[in-house]
Structure 1
Amino acid sequence: MINERKITKKDLNHIFWNLQTMSFSYNYEKMQMIGFAHCMTPVLDRLYHDADKETRVRAMNRHLEFFNCQINANALILGVTAAMEEKTKEDEKEAVVSVKAGLMGPFAGLGDSLLKFTWMPICGSIGAAFALQGNIIGPILMFLIYNIVNILTKYFFIHYGYNKGVDLIEQSKNSNIIQRISNLANVVGVMVLGSLIATTVKVSTPLSINVGEQSVKIQEMFDKVMPNFLTLMFALGTFFLVKKFQGKYTVTLILSVMVIGVILSVFGVLK
């Protein structure tokens, strides 16, 4: 028999506040498992308040399985999971675990594409534009505009996921909307990063070649054939290294670029 208790708006808001601390309990065995279970406690307390101990234990154990996804996408999964906990019978609860596992991958890609690889670079480029002019508003503006979207999407997705419930999953499968939005976000992200490289990254060399009595500047030769050639080579080289090592040594790569850049600048190879 389906649980007769109903989840309230207060319970969903409680999930939203718990979600803000989800990453605090991140671990390398089951990733966000503890955080997800913590977010679901208001729902489980509401639905299984009068249930026996064994039923309550089974309900909690359902959400102590491996879980890992992008944090904003987690809000949507939490909303859908809450709806399924409310609408399914006790012998149908395995579907709750299956849905969570099935949504992790595609929703993680969607969340990363939209927030991490699209919206964050846009906010960073806006903040950097002010910061490069010496304006203190740059980092503050980046923090504000990013977190307005970050916080509002979490709140909206929890309520939207709950209201749509299982219908949201079926609609996504039929229309392939997740893949389409993800592809669109990837294109926007590439455009933003490309424009950011072109406007903020400057690599040039003061070196020159003596040809007889004349001195030919290498940078002027590059500019006539392909402007910003060194910048392009630097960007492609960095991208190649990041992809080759699958992002494992990104911090080391950043520090190495800084050190090598300073050394080459001191010896007059780059400027």
Structure 2
Amino acid sequence: MAKKELSKKTLKKSFWNWFYGNLTCFSQEHMQTFGYLVSMLPVVEELYDNKDDQKKAMETYTAFFNTEPQIGTVVVGITAGLEEARANGEEIDGEMINGIRAGLMGPLAGIGDSLIVGTLIPILLGIGLGLSEGGSPLGAVFYIIVWNVLAIFGMRMLYFKGYELGGKAVEMMVGEKANAIRESVIMVGTIVIGAVAASWINVTTAFKMVNSEGGTIIDLQSTLDGIFPKLLSALTVIFCWWLMKKKKLSPTIVMLILVIIAFAGVLLGIFNPGLSY
């Protein structure tokens, strides 16, 4: 019997299905499961002619799956390679494939969130904000183009590299070296987020105590600057982190809270109206 091999056309279709559909029918119960099914469908259809075999193979991918979509592309590529090996009679079953998927999705989510969400996106947004000064649309254009180019080519490379490596990619993704890389990326991401916060968040107070003759007794902002420059900005960042991390509030709710605080601060004379906080 001739060896079954996935065509480039099928692999490309599988990749694009994941690229556009990784969050298809997203829910708390299934997360990215349906997106995974959509991406594996062309793979299974090419490898198996019998409908019952196709159905049995697809049942493997109905298990819960959720990871960082960009870095997680490599898992889809790996399982495409494993499915090809299974179709050629190698001792690979659905339990083994799901074990590999379950074992990879957690570590890759940590790596992806640190590298993509915590590092790459803040860097691109920081550059875009700088280019947008004065109302220029160049920043938005820069972010849209650069992000999509990096996402498409990066995810495509990961998919095909995962397919080529198959099960051998597991040790690369979750081994000791991968853990060291993950910790390094987390550190870099933390530094980048801190730099972005220091550069773009500027919270100041207009509160002053004056005497009967109109002279200033206490200028609160000058006093705070003498103690710790940009102290209010740092406290604002910590406050937002506390609300989202500890109190589990959504970013939208946090923004509404900041608006309420700013509004009340203007009414009480703590902030100056018309300034950016």
Question: What is the TM-score of this pair, normalised by structure 2?
Answer: 0.88
Q: State how far apart, in whole Å, the 1-side matches of 2:110 and 2:216 are.
A: 56
Checking the alignment, whether the CA contact within 8 Å between 1:203 and 1:270 is kept in structure 2 is no
Structure 1: how far apart are the matches of 2:52 and 2:167?
26
Structure 1 segment 139-218 matched on structure 2, within 5 A: 139-174=140-175, 176-210=176-210, 215-218=217-220
- Give the aligned residue type for 1:57: K
8 Å Cα contact 1:70/1:108 also seen in 2? yes
CA drift at 1:103: 1.0
Establish whether residue 236 from structure 1 lines up as the match of residue 277 from structure 2.
no
Cα deviation 1:77-96 (Å, max 9, x = unaligned): 01100111112347531211
Mapping for residues 21-36 of structure 1, pairs under 5 Å: 21-36=21-36
Q: Provide the alpha-carbon RMSD of the alignment.
A: 2.1
Distance 2:52 2:85 in 1: 20
Gaps of 5+ in 2: 273-277
Distance 1:133 1:187 in 2: 33
Shift of 1:210: 4.0
What one-letter code is carried by the residue in structure 2 that aligns with 1:222? Answer: L
What are the equivalent positions in structure 2 for 1:53-132 lying under 5 Å apart?
53-88=51-86, 89=89, 92-93=92-93, 94-132=95-133
Q: Distance in 2 between matches of 1:135 and 1:159?
A: 38
Question: Does 2:54 align with 1:48?
Answer: no
CA positional deviation for 1:265: 2.4
Who is 1:270 aligned against? 271
CA-CA distance at 1:135 after TM superposition: 1.2
Looking at structure 2, the residues matched to 57 and 264 of structure 1 have their Cα atoms a distance apart, in angstroms, of: 62
Query: CA-to-partner distance for each residue in 1:41-98, whole Å, 9 max, x for gaps?
Result: 121112112xx34322210101111111111123100110011111234753121111
2:256 partner letter: L
Structure 1 residue 7, shift from structure 2 partner: 1.2
1:171 Cα deviation (Å)?
3.4
Residues 131 and 139, structure 1, Cα contact 8 Å, conserved in 2: yes
Aligned residue identity for 2:6: I
Cα offset for 1:130? 2.2
Contact 1:123 1:142 survives alignment (8 Å): yes
My pick for the range that moved more, 206-215 or 70-79, is 206-215
Name the count of aligned residue pairs.
266
The CA distance in 2 between the partners of 1:84 and 1:139, in whole Å, is: 40
1:18 aligns with 2:17: yes
Cα distance, 1:185 vs structure 2: 2.0
- Normalised by the length of structure 1, the TM-score is 0.90
Range with greater deviation from structure 2 (236-245 or 77-86): 236-245
Task: Measure the CA separation in 1 of the matches of 2:220 and 2:171.
Answer: 60
Which residue of the partner structure matches residue 275 of structure 2?
A: none
| C-alpha deviation, 1:113, in angstroms | 1.3
* Percentage of identical aligned residues: 27
Distance between the aligned counterparts of 1:133 and 1:17, measured in 2? 37
**SS of match in other structure, 2:136:** coil
Q: Distance in 2 between matches of 1:135 and 1:36?
A: 39
Q: Which amino acid aligns with 2:231?
A: F
Q: Which amino acid is 2:146 matched to?
A: I
Separation of aligned partners in 2, 1:230 and 1:192: 20
Q: 2-side partners of 1:132 and 1:108: how far apart?
A: 34
Unaligned 5+ residue runs, structure 1? none
Counterpart CA distance in 1 for 2:142 and 2:164 is 33
- Deviation string 1:180-217 (CA, Å, 9 cap, x unpaired) is 22222222221221111112111111212347965221
Q: Distance in 2 between matches of 1:18 and 1:267?
A: 54
Query: In 2, distance between residues paired with 1:233 and 1:130?
Result: 27
More divergent stretch after superposition (259-268 vs 151-160): 259-268
State the partner residue of 1:137: 138
**2:260 corresponds to which residue?**
259
